[in-house]
A = this chain, B = another copy of it.
Amino acid sequence: MTTGVRRRMGVEERRQQLIGVALELFSRRSPDEVSIDEIASAAGISRPLVYHYFPGKLSLYEAALKRASEDLAARFVEPPEGPLAGRLLRVMARFFDFVDEHGPGFAALMRGGPAVGSSATNALVDSVRQAAYDQILAHLKVTEPPARLELAVRSWISLAESTALIWLDGRRIPRTELEAQLVHDLAALIAVSAAYDDEMGALLRRILKDEPADGPFADLVGRLITLAS
């Protein structure tokens, strides 16, 4: 019985090791370019043994993506304390850390393609988007979002994804600038909606009310007023 338990533990440990090795390789190069032979070699085991744990490259890719998805979703979690812009800025820094660590794999995943377009991978990507959405609503203290807020937040999430993808392509703009810009972008998208909708206007006023006079939102408004004059 003891041996049985040890053997089952060993299987799970080996699976976890393979997932870690695969995630490392899938992060550094496009998943299309990573072979099972390479994963086996990096893990120090034989190719048939890899197939013993995972039926094929796609299942190993999906397991690696699942781990990466959970890792990213965990980085979205931020204590609901202090000014909102500051919280969001810290989350953006962790998001760019993740993008930096998994660059080529992130780009290949988000741009789609033969190895990454399965319904399982799409579901994982959607689960991360949903985690981001849920976190933002929680920080905004909104439980039943009006359609215009849902649109602003969800479309901003895709804006954040594309901003990260464009950053990866040459890194021509410092990432700290983009982290701050994305925080401002969310405020700007909500403001544009608020300019034409009273419910969104009330929401925006409530958000800004608690922001410090020397915080990122006040700084943006000040600069925009200077720019407009």
Contacts and interface: CB of A to CB of B under 8 A. Distances in A.
A189 interface: yes
Contact of A204 (B177, B180, B227): B227
A113 to B, nearest CB: 6
A5 interface: no
Contact of A147 (B148, B154, B172): B172
A1 interface: no
A157 to B, nearest CB: 8
Given A151-B163, A162-B154, A162-B155, A185 B195 contact: no
Classify the interface of chain A: helix, strand, loop or mixed. helix
Contact of A159 (B155, B166, B205, B220): B155
B150 A227 contact: no
A74 interface: no
A62 interface: no
B184 A192 contact: yes
A119 interface: yes
A122 interface: yes
Nearest to A126: B111
Contacts of A122: 111-113
A109 B157 CA distance: 19
Interface string A49-61: 0000000000000
Interface of A: 111-114, 116-119, 122, 147-148, 150-151, 154-159, 161-163, 166-167, 170, 172-173, 177-178, 180-181, 184-185, 188-189, 191-196, 201, 204-205, 220-221, 223-225, 227-228
12 contacts: A112-B117, A114-B117, A117-B117, A150-B166, A151-B166, A155-B159, A158-B159, A159-B162, A185-B192, A191-B227, A195-B220, A195-B227
